[in-house]
């Protein structure tokens, strides 16, 4: 069996028990890789549980900077006896296994052809520490120490990371360093360090930042001026309002009074959380909620109201596996249709489709502007893969000259000057009416907001002509939205091609890698990354310019494909579905495989 040998290009997976403190040790490993100038993309694979069940941390080390999940495991750090056999089966032939050898494991439980590296972690930490909790926590740090030696990682990066983390807590700093050295020293003395699988300093990280999409979205909402947040806890979105609150306490507390320039309410359910956001938006505040698919299901009545009564609303949907409770801790892009057409009657909603934490920040800030400009719900469609995993991405950017677009809000002065106010009247031809905020003027501009049909002056009406005027205007407004939302990003193939591919959101890193792989094989595809719904004209133009267009997405029913067919009247035969929906993040291997297979099937390339 040929041993896997690779420098700065491998997948290492940590099999742990949740609640054991492994998460911070594993993150330490990822950060150390990054500090050596090598990109890394870790993913938490965790159960819907707090303590005692299996959890995994899969880190892809990749000097080329591909952040998509690769698939396959080159090295397994097996710390969970419950999942031992399944974990062994995942190791690639010629791979490596690091395990706690304190207790003997029968030889037949080790897979053939895997280099087995035993470290008596329990024994080592039990000798060094008396406190049971410390034994538990430092066992994790000790296996990181062993890895540091095995993978030839620089000692200095760990020291620096510990120093940053435990600034002012020298006792903890020393204890962690000790644990790291216990593991490292054992490995150096007893194991074949360094392995064929190893690290080498590079310069491929640059000024990128390492963060998760949920924190980034929360920060975007801070920068975008959200003041009211109402939410109901749901995986995988809860860390958005929690991060928002953390940032609020940092940036939004008045120094002189200690008072808050924000209001956060944990509501009794998603109906109430969206209701509060609708009320705050109606009254002129920038408000948001964060949720996931089941929450969107509960919110749909209010989403219809906000669409029809034209109230600014921002919803961050961190998608997870559906339907129903589905796979709460796994990723999917399966809420697209539920959000794009949420609520009864004819509705269409704006969706933004960020690809990474950088865009979670950008799109969340933009959503608040768009909600005010368009006076309608704006969805930011992130997912568990982007939301809850740390990812290397471009640093956040903010232009201090940027102001907030509050949209068409008629002022007291304009009303006083006698400007005509028809709440649901299209005076500018873009379908967007003017609104007034409660309390603006003593006698002018008040209106009654309702979910029932009304005439352009907001008077109750069940006349067909009034209804049609309103519905047509809403369509016109939706068309206006297409030019205001983030535009698609085109990546041209190295040479002219008849084939195209459409993708979006968290599929991006795997897609980019797949395009490189296919190009190396002589398969060329132009690629269009969608960043929003509704689709601007560049989308039908792209499809028209190619004989065949692959649509890559992470759901069973090809929801984006359906939306393209539905909105653009495109012949479905022109588009090929590439669907990944088992709850794990899509991989370049999967995408390239699906496209390759389709091409061969049709003998279109060879």
Partner 1 sequence: MTFIAKPRLHHPTLQTNKVGYTRRDYEGRISTLCAGCGHDSISAAIIQACWELDIEPHRVAKLSGIGCSSKTPDYFLGASHGFNTVHGRMPSVLTGANLANRELLYLGVSGDGDSASIGLGQFANAMRRGVRMAYIVENNGVYGLTKGQFSATADQGSKSKKGVVNNDSPVDLVGLALQLGATYVARSFSGDKEQLVPLIKGAMAHGGAAFIDVISPCVTFNNHGGSTKSYDYVRQHNDAVSRIDFITPGQEITAQYAPGELIEVSNHDGSVLRLRKLHADHDPTDRYAAMNYMHQHAAHGEVVTGLLYLDPLATDLHTALNTCAVPLASLGPDRLCPGAAALEKINAALR
| Alpha carbons 470 and 464: distance in angstroms, whole number | 10
Angle ∠(548,550,554) on CA atoms, nearest 5: 165
Q: Which helix (H) or strand (E) holds 85?
A: helix 84-90
Which residues between 261 and 290 bind partner 1 (CB under 8 A)? 261-265, 267-269, 271-285, 287
Least CB distance from residue 427 to partner 1, whole Å? 20
Q: Rank residues 403 and 495 by Cβ distance to partner 1 and give the closer one.
A: 403
Binding status of residue 162 toward partner 1 by CB under 8 A: no
Least CB distance from residue 601 to partner 1, whole Å? 45
Q: Rank residues 219 and 551 by Cβ distance to partner 1 and give the closer one.
A: 219
Residues of 1-18 as b/e, b for ≥16 C-beta within 10 angstroms? eeebeebbebbbbbbbbb
Which residues between 173 and 212 bind partner 1 (CB under 8 A)? 205, 207-211
Contacts of 557 (CB under 8 A, 6+ apart): 334, 337
Q: Are strands 287-291 and 313-319 parallel, antiparallel or unpaired?
A: parallel
Least CB distance from residue 44 to partner 1, whole Å? 18
DSSP 224: T
Q: Stretches 89-97, 126-134, 259-267, 556-564: which one binds partner 1 (CB under 8 A)?
A: 259-267
Least CB distance from residue 78 to partner 1, whole Å? 31
Q: Rank residues 327 and 409 by Cβ distance to partner 1 and give the closer one.
A: 409
Site string for partner 1, 223-242 (x = CB under 8 A): xxx-xx-x------------
Task: Find residue 504's DSSP bridge partners.
Answer: 530
| Alpha carbons 451 and 278: distance in angstroms, whole number | 12
Q: Rank residues 346 and 604 by Cβ distance to partner 1 and give the closer one.
A: 346
Site string for partner 1, 303-322 (x = CB under 8 A): --x---x-------------
Least CB distance from residue 37 to partner 1, whole Å? 11
CB atoms within 10 A of CB 486: 17
Spell out the alpha helix ranges (H) of 255-332. 270-282, 293-309
Query: What tokens appear for 400 in the block?
Result: 């201090």
Binding status of residue 258 toward partner 1 by CB under 8 A: yes
Q: Rank residues 398 and 521 by Cβ distance to partner 1 and give the closer one.
A: 398
Three-class secondary structure of residue 106 per DSSP:
coil
* In contact, 296 and 339? CB cutoff 8 Å: yes
Radius of gyration of the chain (CA): 27
Least CB distance from residue 264 to partner 1, whole Å? 7
Least CB distance from residue 573 to partner 1, whole Å? 42
DSSP 585: P
| Alpha carbons 25 and 40: distance in angstroms, whole number | 15
Q: Rank residues 194 and 451 by Cβ distance to partner 1 and give the closer one.
A: 451
Q: What is the dihedral of CA 562, 382, 301, 579, to 10 degrees?
A: 30
Q: Rank residues 38 and 309 by Cβ distance to partner 1 and give the closer one.
A: 309
Which residues between 46 and 75 bind partner 1 (CB under 8 A)? none
Which residues between 6 and 25 bind partner 1 (CB under 8 A)? none
* In contact, 389 and 212? CB cutoff 8 Å: yes
Least CB distance from residue 361 to partner 1, whole Å? 9
Which residues between 450 and 489 bind partner 1 (CB under 8 A)? 450-452, 460
Which residues between 523 and 562 bind partner 1 (CB under 8 A)? none
Q: Number of residues in contact with partner 1, rule: CB under 8 A?
A: 74
Distances (CA, A) of 599 to 97, 453, 485, 548, 573: 38, 51, 33, 10, 15
Q: Rank residues 198 and 412 by Cβ distance to partner 1 and give the closer one.
A: 412
Least CB distance from residue 325 to partner 1, whole Å? 20
Q: Rank residues 414 and 553 by Cβ distance to partner 1 and give the closer one.
A: 414
Which residues between 367 and 426 bind partner 1 (CB under 8 A)? 395-400, 402-404
Q: Stretches 37-45, 380-388, 430-438, 476-484: which one binds partner 1 (CB under 8 A)?
A: 430-438
**Phi, psi at residue 121, to the nearest 5°?**
-60, -45
Q: Rank residues 352 and 458 by Cβ distance to partner 1 and give the closer one.
A: 458
């Amino acid at each position: 069996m040929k041993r896997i040998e690779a420098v700065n290009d491998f997948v290492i997976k940590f099999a742990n028990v949740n609640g054991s403190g492994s998460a911070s040790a594993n993150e330490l490993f990822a950060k150390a890789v990054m500090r050596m100038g090598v990109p890394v993309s870790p993913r938490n694979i965790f159960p819907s549980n707090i303590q005692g069940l299996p959890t995994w941390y899969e880190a892809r080390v990749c000097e080329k900077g591909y952040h998509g999940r690769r698939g396959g495991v080159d090295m397994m750090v097996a710390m969970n006896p419950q999942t031992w056999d399944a974990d062994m089966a995942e190791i690639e032939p010629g791979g490596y296994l690091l395990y706690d050898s304190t207790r003997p494991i029968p030889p037949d439980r080790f897979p053939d052809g895997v280099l087995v590296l035993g470290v008596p972690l329990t024994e080592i930490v039990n000798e060094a520490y008396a406190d049971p909790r410390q034994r538990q926590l430092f066992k994790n740090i000790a296996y990181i120490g062993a890895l540091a030696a095995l993978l030839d990682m620089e000692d200095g990066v760990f020291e620096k990371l510990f120093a940053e983390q435990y600034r002012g807590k020298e006792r903890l700093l020393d204890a962690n360093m000790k644990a790291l050295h216990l593991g490292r020293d054992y490995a150096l003395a007893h194991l074949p360090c360094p392995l064929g699988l190893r690290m080498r300093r590079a310069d491929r990280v640059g000024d990128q930042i390492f963060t998760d999409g949920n924190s980034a979205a929360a920060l975007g909402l801070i920068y975008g001026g959200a003041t009211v947040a109402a939410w109901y806890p749901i995986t995988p979105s809860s860390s958005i309002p929690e991060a928002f609150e953390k940032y609020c306490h940092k940036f939004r507390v008045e120094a002189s009074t200690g008072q808050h320039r924000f209001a956060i309410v944990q509501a009794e359910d998603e109906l109430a959380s969206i209701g509060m956001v609708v009320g705050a938006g109606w009254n002129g505040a920038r408000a948001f909620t964060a949720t996931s698919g089941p929450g969107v299901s509960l919110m749909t009545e209010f989403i219809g109201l906000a669409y029809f009564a034209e109230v600014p609303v921002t919803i961050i949907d961190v998608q997870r596996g559906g339907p129903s409770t589905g796979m709460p801790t796994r990723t999917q892009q399966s809420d697209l249709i539920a959000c794009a057409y949420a609520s009864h009657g004819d509705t269409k909603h704006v969706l933004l489709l960020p690809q990474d934490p950088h865009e979670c920040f950008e799109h969340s800030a933009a959503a608040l502007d768009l909600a005010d400009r368009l006076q309608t719900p704006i969805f930011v469609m992130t997912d568990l893969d982007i939301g809850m995993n740390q990812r290397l991405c471009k640093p956040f950017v903010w232009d201090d000259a940027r102001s907030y677009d509050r949209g068409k809000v008629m002022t007291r002065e304009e009303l006083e000057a006698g400007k005509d106010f028809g709440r649901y009247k299209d005076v500018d031809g873009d379908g967007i009416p003017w609104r007034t905020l409660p309390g603006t003027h003593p006698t002018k501009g008040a209106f009654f907001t309702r979910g029932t049909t009304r005439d352009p002056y907001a008077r109750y009406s069940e006349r067909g002509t009034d209804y049609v005027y309103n519905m047509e205007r809403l369509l016109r407004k939706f068309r206006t939205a297409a030019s205001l939302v983030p535009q698609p990003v085109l990546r041209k193939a190295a040479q002219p091609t008849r084939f195209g591919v459409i993708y979006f959101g968290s599929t991006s890193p795997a897609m980019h890698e797949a395009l490189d792989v296919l190009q190396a094989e002589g398969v060329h595809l132009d690629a269009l990354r969608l960043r929003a719904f509704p689709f601007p004209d560049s989308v039908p133009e792209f499809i028209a310019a190619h004989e065949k267009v692959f649509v890559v997405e992470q759901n069973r029913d090809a929801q984006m494909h359906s939306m393209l067919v539905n909105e653009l009247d495109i012949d479905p035969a022109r588009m090929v579905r590439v669907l990944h929906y088992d709850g794990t993040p899509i991989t370049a291997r999967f995408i390239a495989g699906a496209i390759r297979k389709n091409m061969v099937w049709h003998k279109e390339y060879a």
